[in-house]
Structure 1
Amino acid sequence: MAKKPKLSFWQIWNLSFGFLGVQAGFALQNANVSRILSNYGADLHHLSFFWLVAPIMGLIIQPWVGAASDRTWTRMGRRKPFIFGGAIAAALGMFFMPNSHIAMAIIPPVVFGAIMLALMDASFNVTFQPFRSLVADMTPDEQTNTGYSIQTLLINLGAVIGSFLPFVLTNWLGVENTAPEGSVPPSVIWSFYIGGSILLVSVLWTVFTTKEYNPEEFKQYNSTPESSVTEKQSFWQTLMSMPGIMGKLAVVQFFSWFALFAMWVYTTPAVAQHIWGTAIGDSSTSAYNEAANWVGVLFGLYSVFAALFSIFLDKIANSLGRVKTYSLSLLLGAIGYLSMYIFTGQYALIFSMVGVGIAWAAILAMPYAILARSLPADRMGVYMGIFNITVVVPQIVSGLLLGTILKFVFHEKAIYMIVLAGISMLLAAISAILFVKETKAV
């Protein structure tokens, strides 16, 4: 077996550059969908049910995309057709999401918003998995940490752009930040237009600057029997044959993604109530929209801290080991969440975002770096797709439970949902150090 050639920094950069745009769109969705759906008339207790669309789309789509991209050999490449097609569909969803008036005569605005959310999430999921597999396909073992660290950096740069857009448009460019009930503020509408455009441009950059290995080169660089590249198994056969490390990582993933889902859904109402003193379900006032813009800034800041941490993540992981780095990062994330309950000023929450950002960087990189050397190269896509189940299941559980917990356990105080996220992230840190061990390359 020939050794994969080492890639230059810019070749590794180009592999994941499109993820910057995809994550800009995803960050806009995360920071603003609860706000948009509230503008459209969704009840606070039902927000988590709308957010179930995202993990359900991931559960359905990513394993299929992973398996399909493993068997796809085209002139464009192996992973790039899925990346390109998903980006186009995601951009369309972003252009339509804040414009319920387009279909208001046919369906209620909140239903239109839910449909557009489903379209965006389905499309984002089509692009996510091939980007993960593309790094594993193209980098030699000694550059795996570097590949996923650079990908994490780009992901977070995109998240910074997406998260900051409404705040920048409102406070720097004077775009209106409020709208009548049933409509979305112009600052959010233009943010989605800009984010969708960035998504398309960045994905095109990856498509045109990256040349994937053809089937002959792939066989040359991977110690895989020729027959296994085209071997077909049922989903359940593949699931049952997955490496044991995937199951151990699944425990960590459950607690970490349960926490992330709670943060994405409830940070806006939590900050609005805890810092701005707004009432429950009060989504049309200037105070609520000011809080929502600040949450966008906070989400952007945790992405800034994640991007900065990702610069050093490769060296830290090489020094401490991936598992210890992963666990310590999750612990700092738990501290970040829990501190949000203690702080009562909006600017103090910036310190909370440091820990959240470090955890986010590790979540984006370490599980995939651990897996990359544990999975057979010819089945990388399908196993990475199956691994996404460990991302979506905790979000589905969160979506089904959190609304009830908010109403009957926390009595409408959304800040306690962030405390719950902190406890869950702490359990993730403990699980990582207890269950996950370093493995050798396959």
Structure 2
Amino acid sequence: MNKRKLSFWEIWNMSFGFLGIQFGFALQGGFMSRIFQTLGAAKDDIPLLWIAAPLTGLIVQPVIGYLSDRTWSPKWGRRRPYFLIGAVLSSLALFFVPHSPTLWVAAGFLWILDASINISMEPFRALVADKLPESQRSYGFVVQTLIIGIGTWVASNLPWMVSQFGVSDAAPSGVVPMSVKVAFAIGAFVFLLSILYTVFTTTEYPPEDMEEFEREKAKKNQFIPDIVNNIGSMPMTMKKLGVIQFFSWFAFFTMWSMANPALTEHVFQTPAPIEANYDMTVAAQAEAFNTANTAFQKSSNLVGSYMGTYGLSSMAFALLLVLYTSKRRINRKYVHMGSLILGGIGFLMMKFIPSHEYLTISFVLIGFSWGSILSMPYAMLSSSVDPKKMGVIMGIFNMFIVIPQIVAALGGVNFVSNLIGSEAINAMTVAGISLIIAGIANLLITNPKAITYQTVEE
């Protein structure tokens, strides 16, 4: 099928739903560990509490990719029904998660939230490949990254912004502050609204051969064999990208799960107080606990805001790539390599900065790697696979995202960081080393079509 080139605003409209998806991911990534700590989790238990997120991705994304490849509605298209279902479920989960009364309830809501976000997210990757000619693929994924950057920055700052309007950061022991609850409610609204915008402003191409599509759709009990066959026949470029993805996502999972305990403890010197260490029947002890808890909650707001910086710098990085790739070709391999190494340096700096203001520099560098992770691997992959299987291939490719997170959650983070020392900040050092390894692994990519594609007619 000859696909026409789309304008910037057409690509913007079809990608705008990612604003809401990123609101969900940024609130989850920036504040779930804070919620877990508030509800009594020890810092060494936090990675395991996060295991729901990658496990749901491992199961949900290939399934949704497979189903969306076999879906077609003249009114709703192929991918858009999944956007909408995921948005409704994600918005409900976002609203309720900070109201969790106990740790196990919060972990359960994380499971529901991540599964719901994945229902919306996976088809968005396939939509870019569905809608755009190959010459615009890098451009399309970079526009997605631009929108993701905006969402990351705004959502990461929401609890701080809300507290500036007078919403309290203080709360009794075991209760999430109202500033966080309001921020998650705003995130739920934005998630649903942005997905609806894409659903109603974007059309999709019908299957190229409707008769063949209907025959494939009519086949029964093909899901597992198809998944297994596609895994077995994945292109060599996809396998090499899997190595890069493993170390990249190990690093970012480590950040999402451990940045709050690491930075509140090491940089802000306000670790989460442990109630068992205080005699709450003594007024002075109870007051000391409340003072320490409020300090922890306020510094957690700042950690979230600093983390938002990586969204802002990824947005700037994406904007530069948008301007460049709209006119010229890029070497995806070296862009990705350099970006990941810079992000690794940003993580390594955290252990040695003299004050929290320097976290801005760290997260700016991390943002370069984040902007590249969200665009370059998908652009390289989409040039190497059968377009008729784009949904299921993108779903399988996301296994390379969730498997390293599962490894990290099951003890990988704790084991490797404890080799350096017991302080939580060592987890950020592990993230930095992992990201640098991911950058160097780009040297494995040798397929010329994956490395670069002419984005305009010469």
TM over 0.5: yes
2:50 maps to which residue? Answer: 51
Cα distance in 2, alignment partners of residues 100 and 419 from structure 1 = 32
The answer to whether the 8 Å contact 2:261/2:271 transfers is no
2:367 maps to which residue? Answer: 357
TM-score (norm 2): 0.89
Cα distance in 2, alignment partners of residues 438 and 3 from structure 1 = 23
Deviations 1:267-303 (A, max 9, x none): 1111111122234655962222122111111111110
The answer to whether structure 1 residue 126 and structure 2 residue 136 are counterparts is no
Q: Give 3-state SS (helix, strand or coil) of 2:449's partner.
A: coil
Overall identity of the aligned pairs, in %: 40
Q: How does 1:21-420 map to 2 (within 5 A)?
A: 21-74=20-73, 75-101=75-101, 109-170=102-163, 172-215=164-207, 218-219=208-209, 230=217, 232=222, 233-279=225-271, 282=274, 285-314=293-322, 318-402=328-412, 404-405=414-415, 408-420=418-430
1:105 maps to which residue? Answer: none
Deviations 1:239-259 (A, max 9, x none): 101111110000000111111
How much has 1:347 moved relative to structure 2?
0.8
Q: 1:404 to 1:359 in 2, by over 3 A?
A: closer
How much has 1:146 moved relative to structure 2?
1.0
Q: 1:342 to 1:438 in 2, by over 3 A?
A: farther
Deviations 1:150-180 (A, max 9, x none): 000011111112101001111x201101211
Cα distance in 1, alignment partners of residues 407 and 170 from structure 2 = 33
How much has 1:235 moved relative to structure 2?
1.9
TM-score (norm 1): 0.92
2:293 partner letter: T
Q: What runs of 5+ residues in structure 1 fail to find an aligned partner?
A: 102-108
Q: Give 3-state SS (helix, strand or coil) of 1:179's partner.
A: coil
Cα distance in 1, alignment partners of residues 258 and 337 from structure 2 = 25
Q: 1:293 to 1:98 in 2, by over 3 A?
A: same
2:305 partner letter: V
The answer to whether the 8 Å contact 2:418/2:426 transfers is no
The answer to whether the 8 Å contact 1:166/1:191 transfers is yes
Q: 1:253 to 1:356 in 2, by over 3 A?
A: same
Report the RMSD for the aligned CA atoms in angstroms. 2.1
Cα distance in 2, alignment partners of residues 421 and 338 from structure 1 = 8
Q: 1:253 to 1:161 in 2, by over 3 A?
A: same
Deviations 1:343-362 (A, max 9, x none): 12111110111110000000
The answer to whether structure 1 residue 421 and structure 2 residue 431 are counterparts is yes
Q: 1:9 to 1:407 in 2, by over 3 A?
A: closer
Q: Give 3-state SS (helix, strand or coil) of 2:20's partner.
A: helix
**Number of equivalent positions:** 427
The answer to whether the 8 Å contact 1:248/1:436 transfers is no
Cα distance in 2, alignment partners of residues 175 and 91 from structure 1 = 22
The answer to whether the 8 Å contact 2:34/2:300 transfers is yes
Cα distance in 2, alignment partners of residues 163 and 333 from structure 1 = 18
Q: Give 3-state SS (helix, strand or coil) of 2:121's partner.
A: helix
Cα distance in 2, alignment partners of residues 213 and 90 from structure 1 = 27
Q: 1:319 to 1:138 in 2, by over 3 A?
A: closer
The answer to whether the 8 Å contact 1:323/1:438 transfers is no
Cα distance in 2, alignment partners of residues 131 and 320 from structure 1 = 23
The answer to whether the 8 Å contact 2:98/2:181 transfers is yes
Cα distance in 1, alignment partners of residues 214 and 67 from structure 2 = 17
Mean Cα displacement is larger for which, 230-239 or 423-432?
230-239
How much has 1:260 moved relative to structure 2?
0.4
How much has 1:181 moved relative to structure 2?
1.4
Q: 1:279 to 1:229 in 2, by over 3 A?
A: same
Q: What runs of 5+ residues in structure 2 fail to find an aligned partner?
A: 276-291, 454-458
How much has 1:100 moved relative to structure 2?
2.2
Mean Cα displacement is larger for which, 113-122 or 317-326?
317-326
Mean Cα displacement is larger for which, 79-88 or 272-281?
272-281
Q: Give 3-state SS (helix, strand or coil) of 1:439's partner.
A: helix
Q: 1:365 to 1:228 in 2, by over 3 A?
A: farther
2:321 partner letter: L
Cα distance in 1, alignment partners of residues 270 and 419 from structure 2 = 20
